[in-house]
Chain A
Amino acid sequence: NAGVTQTPKFQVLKTGQSMTLQCAQDMNHEYMSWYRQDPGMGLRLIHYSVGAGITDQGEVPNGYNVSRSTTEDFPLRLLSAAPSQTSVYFCASSYGYYYEQYFGPGTRLTVT
């Protein structure tokens, strides 16, 4: 199993550009989440999904959009990038919401 994969590993955007961070898992997990990690702030939940077709907002959803058309994929869209979105983004999946989360390797995003 590849586990949780994320692409790209690094990305530089200009303010106002849009892009999609890809996340896929091959463990047939129903729960998937997106986090951002900023220095001194730990990880903060952006959006999550409890199954295909079902998504909800986390703690810091503004400026991000998600959809879940399949169990495997959970892309995160930045609609109009801002310097405040410079961060490391992690995707995670789990069998159930109270089980261990498996994390992807992260995407380092810089917005200039």
Chain B
Amino acid sequence: AQTVTQSQPEMSVQEAETVTLSCTYDTSESNYYLFWYKQPPSRQMILVIRQEAYKQQNATENRFSVNFQKAAKSFSLKISDSQLGDTAMYFCAFMSGTSGTYKYIFGTGTRLKVLA
């Protein structure tokens, strides 16, 4: 069975600095997708970034980038130039849809606080 592990329950970072959130996963499938979602205090879930497993190039989205290591089954999120609005829970998620079965597995989340 697939699992997603986020080993850092809480982190903090100074405004304008860089922080990396870790995520590891376990799967025997070769084709899957990985996501980072952000959940601010408003509770609204928002996609931060998405990575296709078949792509070797790491995804980037403005100040957000990932370090995708397929062999190590690692998918970390780097936030550069942290802003106060980045304060939120961050969830790593694994998705596969092989054999007609749809699996979407979330990690337990990392609570990030950006300090002024």
Contact = CB atoms under 8 A, between A and B. Distances in A.
Interface of A: 31, 33, 35, 40-45, 48, 50, 56, 58-59, 88, 90, 92, 97-98, 100-101, 103, 105-106
Contacts of B101: 56
Interface of B: 4, 33, 35, 43-47, 50, 52, 91, 93, 95, 97, 101-109
A101 B106 contact: no
Contacts of B105: 45, 59
Given A56-B101, A98-B33, A106 B107 contact: no
Contacts of A59: 105
Nearest to B47: A100
A93 B113 CA distance: 28
A56 B99 CA distance: 13
B100 to A, nearest CB: 9
Given A56-B101, A98-B33, A40 B108 contact: yes
Contacts of A43: 45, 91, 93, 106
Given A56-B102, A97-B95, 19 more contacts: A31-B102, A35-B106, A40-B108, A42-B108, A42-B109, A43-B91, A43-B106, A45-B104, A58-B102, A88-B43, A92-B45, A97-B102, A98-B33, A98-B97, A100-B47, A103-B44, A103-B46, A105-B43, A106-B43
Contacts of A58: 102, 104
B47 A42 contact: no
12 contacts: A35-B106, A42-B91, A42-B109, A45-B104, A45-B105, A50-B102, A90-B45, A97-B95, A98-B95, A103-B44, A105-B43, A105-B44
